[in-house]
């Protein structure tokens, strides 16, 4: 039996961190968590490319451009969509998830989903570095494992 799995060794791997400015109170800590994760796992800071976009709606397009650039081996998409009184949440969160999912499914390089979709700012803050951890860190770890896997997988 041959098992294929990625390792959490980032040496020699290059990553894109595509981050939405909307709700930056949340997305900046997500970016810090993702960066910290990658650097602690051996990724060289010079191999990190940060791309900022206005909101989660814009994440898929920027991730697609970065994937096509050849600059990176994996991408972490970071954003935060907080439910409001209108259907806007569903449209923005749905587009971000569908767009990032479609890009990830092509398999050319991994695109992990570090987009929080919450009912309140409090829930988002809990998931960006307080009592529920940091989902930016988790998304970066997933991108790292998958980039390592894709380096090996025929």
Give yes or no: 49 in active site.
Answer: no
Catalytic residue among 21, 40, 88, 151: 88
Alpha-carbon distance 140 to 138, whole Å? Answer: 5
Q: In what order do the strands lie in the sheet with 15-20?
A: 48-53, 15-20, 74-82, 111-118
84 lies in the site for ligand INI, by CB under 6 A: yes
Q: How many helices (H) and strands (E) would you count in the chain? A: 5, 6
Kindly state the helix (H) or strand (E) to which residue 36 belongs, with its residue range. helix 24-40
Segment contacting ligand INI by CB under 6 A, of 29-37, 86-94, 118-126, 134-142? 86-94
Q: Which of 7, 8, 40, 54 binds ligand INI (CB under 6 A)?
A: 54
Minimal distance in Å, beta carbon 22 to ligand INI? 3
Give the interface with ligand INI as residue ranges (CB under 6 A): 20, 22-23, 54-58, 79-82, 84, 88-89, 92
Residues annotated as catalytic are 88
């Amino acid at each position: 039996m041959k098992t294929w799995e990625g390792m959490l060794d980032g040496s020699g791997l290059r990553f894109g961190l595509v981050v939405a400015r909307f709700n930056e109170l949340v997305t900046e800590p997500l970016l810090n968590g993702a960066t910290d994760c990658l650097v602690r796992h051996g990724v060289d800071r010079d191999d990190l490319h940060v791309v900022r976009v206005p909101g989660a709606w814009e994440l898929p397009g920027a991730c697609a451009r970065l994937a096509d650039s050849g600059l990176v081996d994996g991408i972490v998409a970071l954003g935060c969509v907080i439910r409001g009184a209108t259907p806007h949440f569903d449209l923005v969160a749905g587009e971000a998830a569908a767009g990032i999912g479609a890009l990830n499914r092509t398999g050319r390089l991994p695109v992990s989903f570090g987009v929080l979709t919450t009912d309140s700012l409090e829930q988002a803050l809990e998931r960006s570095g307080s009592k529920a951890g940091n989902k930016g860190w988790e998304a970066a770890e997933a991108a790292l494992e998958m980039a390592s896997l894709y380096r090996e997988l025929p």
